[in-house]
Amino acid sequence: MAVAGLVCILAQPPSAHAWGNGGHKLVNKLAASSLPADVPAFLRSPDAVAEIEYLGPEPDRWRSPAEPELVAAQAPEHFIDMELADALGPLPHRRFDFEAKVFAAGQRPEKIGLQPWETEEVWERLKAAMREYRKLSAAKQDTRPVEQVIIFYAGWLGHYVGDGSQPLHTSIQFNGWTGPNPNGYTTDHKIHWQFEGPFVEANLHEAEVRATMTPVKAIDGDLFDAYVAYLRTTKLLVEKVYQLEKVGGFAGAGTAESRQFTAERLGAGASMLRDMIYTAWLESANPVPDPYAQK
C-alpha cells in the first residue's frame, strides 16, 4: 500500500503545483516589496525582494521523482481538503494532534492535507529567526548570517500562503468536479493547472494584482486561527472557479471577470504573506516564556 500511495503522489499532474512559477513569484514579490518601513531595511532591500521572489516556487522544486521520499513527505503540505478535515471536528493547532485524529478515524493525513500546519511551522521559524536578529543587533554582533535565514524563511513561507489563496487547494473538488454535479461543471482533470498555470502566466501582471491588495496590518490574535480563517475564505470561492471555467474564463485571455478574480486571489495571497511577515517581526520582540518557570 505504501508503494502504491507513493506512485500515486509521483503521478500527480502539474496541476498540483499551485499558481505555477509565475504566480508564486508574483505573490512573493508583491508581499516583500510592500513591507512597512518599521521592518528591518535588509528585508526590504532590492536584493532581499529578488531572493524572496525567486523562492516563491521553491517547495515545488522539491517535488521531482528524483527525490521520492521528499515528495511523499511534503506533497500533502501544499493543500488541505477542508470538507474531509472538518468532518473530524475542530482543527487542532498542532500537526501531530491532527494526524492522531485522522488515524483514529481510519484515514491517512496525506489524503486530507497538512497545509495550515506546515504554514504555521514555517512562520514560527521565521519569527524565531527574527528574534535572533534582534538579539544579535542589540549585542552589536554580525547579523548577516541570520539575515539570510530570515530571507529564506520568508520566501519559503510565501509558497504555502500562496497555495492557500488558490481555491482548488482547499477542497476535494481540486481538479475536476466529483460527486453530484447538477450544474454540469467540468470533470476533466485539467481545470487546476489551466487556471493557475498557463492562464496566470499569460494574463496576470504586477500592476493589476497590486491594485487588489489590502492595506498592511498586523494579524491580531492567534496566527493559526487567522490562517485557517483565510483558508476558509478561499474555499468559499471553489465553485466560482468552476463557474468561470464553464464559460471559457481560463482559455486564452479569458474574460474580464476571470482576470479580475485571479488578480484578487493572487492579491489576497500577497496581502496575507506581507501581513504574516510583518506580524512575525512584531511578535519577535516579545519576551520568550521561561519553559522551566514554575506555574
Domain chopping of the chain, boundaries: 14-283
The residue to which cell 526590504 is assigned: 44
Q: Which residue has the cell 491594485?
A: 211
Which DSSP symbol is given to 198? Answer: I
- Cell digits of residue 271: 496581502
At 14 the pLDDT is 39
> Could you tell me if 187 and 176 are in contact, meaning their C-beta atoms sit under 8 angstroms apart?
yes
- The Cα 29–Cα 17 span in angstroms is 18
Averaged pLDDT, 105-120:
98
For residue 133, the model assigns a pLDDT of 98
Q: Quick one: pLDDT at residue 126?
A: 98
Report the largest interatomic distance among the alpha carbons of the chain, rounded to a whole angstrom.
Answer: 65
Tell me the three cell numbers of residue 10: 509521483
pLDDT at 292: 77
Please list, in sequence order, all residues whose beta carbon lies within 8 angstroms of the beta carbon of residue 200, skipping any fewer than 6 positions away: 19, 20, 22, 23, 26, 262, 266
**What pLDDT is stored for residue 290 in this prediction?**
80
For 201-248, the pLDDT digits (tens) are 999 999 999 999 999 999 999 999 999 999 999 999 999 999 999 999
Burial label, 62 (beta-carbon count in 10 A; 0-12, 13-18, 19+)? middle
108 in Cβ contact with 75 (< 8 Å):
no
Taking residues 121-142, what's their average pLDDT? Answer: 98
Which one-letter DSSP state was computed for residue 202? Answer: H
> Residue 119 pLDDT more than 60?
yes
Architecture of domain 14-283: Orthogonal Bundle (1.10)
Q: Could you give the CA distance from residue 67 to residue 89 in angstroms, rounded to a whole number? A: 34
Residue 171, all three cell numbers: 477542497
Q: What is the pLDDT of residues 148-184, one digit of tens each?
A: 999 999 999 999 999 999 999 999 999 999 999 999 9
- The answer, yes or no, to whether residue 20 has pLDDT greater than 80, is yes
Nearest by Cα to 5 from 104, 71, 67, 52: 71
Is pLDDT at 9 greater than 80 in this prediction?
no
Residue 17 banded pLDDT, cuts 50, 70, 90 = low
Task: Identify the residue with better confidence: 3 or 85.
Answer: 85
Residue type, 242: Y
Q: pLDDT tens digits for 90-100? A: 999 999 999 99
Q: Give the pLDDT score at 2.
A: 36
- Could you say which DSSP state residue 291 is in? T
Q: Give residue 294's pLDDT.
A: 55
77, 51, 52, 49: which is closest to 62 by C-alpha?
A: 77
Nine-digit cell at 145?
A: 548570517
Contact between 195 and 245 (Cβ < 8 Å): yes
What's the rounded mean pLDDT across residues 269-287? 98
Distance from chain centroid for Cα 159:
5
Q: Which residue has the higher pLDDT, 122 or 4?
A: 122
